Amino acid sequence: MLKKEVVALWNILRQIENKQFESFKFTYALAKNKRIITPEVKAFQEMAKPSPKFQKYINKKKELLSKLSKKDEKGNPVIENNLYVMENLKEADVEMEKLIEENKEVIEEGEIAKEKFDEFMNKEIDLKLHKVKLKNVPKKGLSPIQMEILILMIDEE
C-alpha cells in the first residue's frame, strides 16, 4: 500500500468514526486500523509542514492579499471561489511580483520540498492492517468513495 493511501484511509476512518454500524467486527476493524495508522499519519503530517522560512513567506502573502483585497461591510477581505477579490488588480500584480522576487529562493526551496514529499508519499509502506471479512461489512451507510478506500482493510474471501 502507498503512503498516500494510508492517509486516505485515515481520513475516511475519521469521517465515519462516530457512525454506528451493526457489525461489531467491522467497527472493531475500523478502530483497530485507526490505532495502527495514526502514528504514521502524524509523522507524515509533521513532514509535510513547511519550513519556517516558507511559512513566513506564506504569511506575508496572506497579509498582502488581505491588504489589497476589496473589503466587505465589516472590513473583512472579500473572497470568492477561494480567491481574494482585488481592489486594484494592477497594483496587486505589481506587489505580488515584488513579494515573489524577494522570496524567490524560499519559494524554490518550498517547491522542491513539496516535490520530495509527494515522491515520498507515492512510495510503498509495509503496514499490517486488521482485515475484516466482506460479509461483516455493512450493506448500508458507506458511500462508494469510502468503500474504495476501505477496500484496503477488507478480506474479500
Residue 80 Rama label (left phi>0; alpha psi -120 to 50; beta): beta
Cα distance between residue 107 and residue 150, in whole Å: 36
pTM over 0.95: no
With H, G, I as helix, E, B as strand and everything else as coil, classify residue 50: coil
Q: What is the DSSP letter of 133?
A: E
For residue 157, pLDDT over 90 is answered with no
Cα distance between residue 14 and residue 39, in whole Å: 14
Query: What's the pLDDT score for residue 29?
Result: 97
Query: What's the pLDDT score for residue 85?
Result: 95
Cα distance between residue 23 and residue 89, in whole Å: 57
**Residue 154 pLDDT level (bands cut at 50, 70, 90):** very high
- Residues 42-61: pLDDT tens digits? 999 999 999 999 999 999 99
Please say whether the beta carbons of 3 and 144 come within 8 A: no
The half-sphere exposure of 77 on its side-chain side, counting CA atoms within 13 A, is 16
- Residues 96-119: pLDDT tens digits? 999 999 999 999 999 999 999 999
- Residues 19-48: pLDDT tens digits? 999 999 999 999 999 999 999 999 999 999
Question: Residue 43 belongs to what H/E stretch?
Answer: helix 24-48
Report how far apart, in Å, the C-alpha atoms of 92 and of each of 14, 26, 85 are.
Answer: 39, 53, 10
